[in-house]
A and B are shown apart, each in its own frame.
Chain A
Amino acid sequence: MLLQELAGRLQDDFSAALVKTVEWRGELAVTVMRDRLHEVAQFLRNDPAMDFDYIVHVSSVDWPDDEERFEVVYEFYSIRKRHQIRLKTRVPESDCVVDSLTDIWKGADFMEREVYDMMGIRFRNHPDLRRILLPDDYTEGYPLRKDFPLRGKGWRDTFEFLDETAR
């Protein structure tokens, strides 16, 4: 299906849920409201004309200046129909919970765990939401958030160096 047709179909069926539709570099990115995410995803998976059976990746982006700070990004592909779509939703920091899509795509399990680990977004109804790449007892926050320092936390400045020339 052409991207315009895809976008049109979503517009027809979910006009109230759609926030934004962007087409850029031959890719379609659709932003939906958070509480309709699961419903739209279910439609993308089950509708015979959509047939998005393959989950490509789950990702997240931090926009600290925005009111709804986090963006959860899902990317789906249809192996039979050969088309791709990016489904996005925004979450505020105070309540960063999204419905998990593990019941639709099994592969979402590990991918969502990674998003939780790296960005701190929780997934409702996820079967096993634990940290995956960082240790379970890691308490220093979520490293891919923009307020997590990119170049160390200043510990290096507190080290005492031996003055080798003084000897």
Chain B
Amino acid sequence: MAFEDQRTTVYKIDPAHPESETLPTLRTEELLLNMGPQHPATHGVLKVILELEGERLVKSTPVLGYLHRGVEKLAEDGTYHQFIPHTDRLDYVCAMYNNFAYCRAVEKLMNITVPDCAEYLRTIVAEVQRIIGHQFWLGTQALDIGAMTVFFYCFRDREILMDWFDELCGARLTTSWYRIGGVERDFTPSLLDKLKQFLDYFPPKIDEYQVFLETNRIWIGRTKGVAIISAEDAVSFGLSGPTLRGSGVDYDLRKAQSYSAYPKCEFSVPLGKNGDTYDRYWIRVQELYESVKIIRQCLEQMQDGPIMADVPSVTLPPKQRVFTNLEAMIQQFKLFSQGFDAPPGEIYCGTEAHKGELGFYIVSTGGGKPYRLKIRAPSFIHMGAFDHMSRGYMISDAVTIFGTYDIVMGECDR
């Protein structure tokens, strides 16, 4: 890149008019600005080359891949079970949903039906993860735009759920709680109590977040009418999740595919009208209320039952039996060392994570390892629309636009 050129002096003496030595003519040119990869507002290691005219963005070119770890290649080296912990590291603020999406894909490949109780557990935890994801998004988006208070409030409430995850599976971020065919362990009475307490505690707090932001003139000014994308463009770019629904497109996989326990719950899918940053914010806040509603209904409907499908050739035996029963131990050992024999074929399975459609495309040629595994990462696809959405806005709006995608580079670069 001709970086030197950009630094040539703006004022130039016109040779035809030497008298202009005292009155320089103003030369205007476009300026290239590298934003990132170590910029605190780019949510990780993302670099964008901004072409500027004054302070307006003429063109922006995302430079991705700083966090590329070759996860898709790694998947070809391990068994299906062994890939679950890798999915935690994709979108590291939303690990449960990655586990969920992956397990659902493998279950579709293996044609396994998950028992009812496990479906409810999965739905509850997925919705808790959605709350965490949206809280994290709200806090950081507000922080980027300059409203610092909300960040602390969101993180205070997020901490309660993080501790709850800790008690559930022993980890706060890299959870690996979902298993192919079910879940790793059931809720304890203490976990249920804490979750119920949280459900009573949380809705007034959402009101509080909203009061903070919607009475803030700066927040309104920096989100309303910023980064507008029409419904047609949003669909054509393949955007998903709140970023798509902000433009008023009614597409939510929880409704469209009605997987897990979602068809048994009543909830609505909030839709935006203008397709701007404010609408996307509003949708995410409304989804917090909806998630609370879904969890409440699941807790009411849930009955005791098995938490793992009983397909011994694929699913893991209960942990207690592994330590006391020889066959169970052999089963566990064989599943982890050799994996299970998947039928040849290919499937795609998408799941509505809080960022958008997280999908796994798995090609199997038989045997214990996937032949090819492709991850449809919403963050990556959203970055494809960045140039389109940022044209004509200010540099400071670029930060708003990263934020509004809810971008996480671990997932974007894989």
Contact = CB atoms under 8 A, between A and B. Distances in A.
Decide if A and B are genuine partners: yes
Interface in B159-185: none
Contacts of B68: 133-134
Taking chain B's interface residues, is the majority helix, strand, or loop, or is none over half, making it mixed?
mixed
Nearest to B69: A133
Contacts of A134: 65, 68
A86 B363 CA distance: 13
A57 B359 contact: yes
Contact of A61 (B236, B350, B372, B380): B372
Interface stretch (A7-15, A21-29, A157-165): A21-29
A106 B236 contact: yes
B65 to A, nearest CB: 4
Nearest to A79: B251
B73 A150 contact: yes
Interface residues of B, number: 42
Given A107-B384, A110-B384, A75 B361 contact: yes
Contacts, number: 95
Nearest to B386: A110
A20 interface: no
Interface stretch (A33-41, A48-56, A90-98): A48-56
B345 A25 contact: yes
B338 interface: no
Nearest to B232: A53
Contact of A150 (B77, B239, B256, B357): B77
Contact of A107 (B70, B236, B348): B236
Contact of A132 (B65, B111, B345): B65
Interface of A: 24-25, 27, 29, 53-57, 59, 61-62, 73, 75, 79, 82, 84, 86, 105-107, 109-111, 114, 118, 131-135, 143-144, 148, 150-151
Given A82-B256, A107-B238, A132-B65, 11 more contacts: A24-B347, A25-B108, A59-B361, A79-B250, A105-B236, A106-B384, A107-B237, A110-B383, A132-B64, A143-B73, A150-B76
The 4 tightest CB contacts between A and B, nearest first, are: A107-B238, A110-B384, A133-B65, A57-B376
